Amino acid sequence: MRKIILVILFVVFNLMAYTQVIKGTIFDEKTKSTIPYASVYFNGTFVGTTTDQQGRFVLDIPKQNNMPLTISAIGYFSTTITKFRTNESLTINLKPKEYELKETSVKSKSLVRKRKRYLTKFRNEFLGTTNNALKCTILNEKDITFNYYTTGDTLKAYALKPIIIENRALGYTITYYLDNFEYFWDRRTVFFVGNIKFSEIATSGITQEVYADIRKKTYIGSKMHFFRSLWNNELKAQGFSMETPVREDLNMKDVVAVDSMNNKYLHYPERFIIWNKNAGTSIQFLKNYVYFDNTGYFDPSGLNWLGGMGDGRIADWLPYEYAVGK
């Protein structure tokens, strides 16, 4: 009997050691009222939950997760929590989206033509123009609106509700909470910010094999592939190389800083170039130290990508749980 009790206690203690719980309550920043049915998740993963009718949530994490926690809700800007302790209750405030837009009824021929043009540009810049993008469908385009009456050269897109994308190339349904989208017509450049959740499309075994093949091809040479290779110091083995703008070779110790907790950061005093096969990508730093981890996650606000890997859009994103061949 004593042995049985010891075994049970051993199992319980081990479960406690490997199970982490995040809990808290989500509030409206202005009214201080709670927000029901908000999404609480790790950006770019399958892991998440929703708040109850009182705005409360509990999220179980099967293992230690160093990624920031993201909170999104319809009609609010997303927020990200980078410093939190498990098993402690969080109080999180969301800022309402208050766009200064005129009430627009797209009925006149001129607005119908303009909306069609804007939607085409939005799809190309948001989803991309790769083969994967051709098999993506935005299921709720009616929830996307634009700055129809502006006289400037910037196209802005707005969405109070999350944008739902069906990616039939990679086998995912994507929920994207868009906080900002701007396309600059004169410079032909795009800037958009938001948060993403993945779920699998249920399919047969044969289709899953097709998905696995396309996912692997999408992964090779991607940002996720680069950061995983950099974390493991396997750049050369994985087909990557790095060099300065004057063509001097760089290695891991030149661009990676490690703190006392073994957290890793991309760090270099100037931009540098990543090569994969014959494609080059220039990286410009927006922060001195850019956090990344072994899943391929990195702080997207810290880097500006030009060419190569920078051309990837939503249609080519993979969840951080992705494992090669799955």
**b/e per residue 95-113 (b: at least 16 CB within 10 A):** eeeeeeeeeeeeeeeebee
pLDDT value, residue 18: 47
pLDDT value, residue 110: 72
Q: Confidence band (pLDDT; 50, 70, 90) for 134?
A: very high
- Please state, in angstroms and rounded to a whole number, the distance separating the CA atoms of residues 273 and 259: 24
- pTM score, two decimals? 0.84
Span 193-229, pLDDT tens digits:
899 999 998 776 678 889 999 999 999 999 999 999 9
CATH topology of domain 2-94: Immunoglobulin-like (2.60.40)
Length, in residues, of the chain: 326
DSSP H stretches of helix in 164-275: 205-219, 223-231, 252-255
**pLDDT of 320 over the 60 cut:** yes
DSSP conformational letter for 143: G
Q: What is the DSSP string of 152-187?
A: SSEEEEE-SSPEEEEETTTTEEEEEEEEEEEEETTT
**pLDDT of 11 over the 70 cut:** no
Span 66-113, pLDDT tens digits:
788 999 999 999 999 887 777 788 999 999 998 655 545 555 667 888
pLDDT value, residue 6: 45
Mean pLDDT in residue range 120-126:
96
Lowest mean pLDDT segment, chosen from 99-108, 125-134, 297-306: 99-108
**pLDDT of 10 over the 70 cut:** no
Closest CA to 71 of 106, 26, 11: 26
User: CA end-to-end span of the chain, whole Å?
Assistant: 44
Q: Confidence band (pLDDT; 50, 70, 90) for 9?
A: very low
Q: Is 132 exposed, middle or buried (0-12, 13-18, 19+ CB in 10 A)?
A: buried
| Beta strand pairing call for 154-158 and 163-167 | unpaired
Span 234-244, pLDDT tens digits:
999 999 999 99
DSSP H stretches of helix in the chain: 2-18, 109-126, 131-134, 205-219, 223-231, 252-255
Contact 303, 285 (CB under 8 A): yes
Match 């606000």 to its residue by tokens.
301
Mean pLDDT in residue range 258-276:
94
Span 137-154, pLDDT tens digits:
999 999 999 988 776 789
**pLDDT of 17 over the 60 cut:** no
Mean pLDDT in residue range 156-164:
95
Q: Confidence band (pLDDT; 50, 70, 90) for 312?
A: confident
Q: What is the DSSP string of 25-53?
A: EEEETTT--B-TT-EEE-TTBS-EEE--T
DSSP bridge pairs for 48: 41
Q: Confidence band (pLDDT; 50, 70, 90) for 5?
A: very low
**pLDDT of 24 over the 70 cut:** yes
The pair of three-digit structure tokens given for residue 274, joined into one six-digit string: 């990543």
Contact 323, 219 (CB under 8 A): no
pLDDT value, residue 104: 52
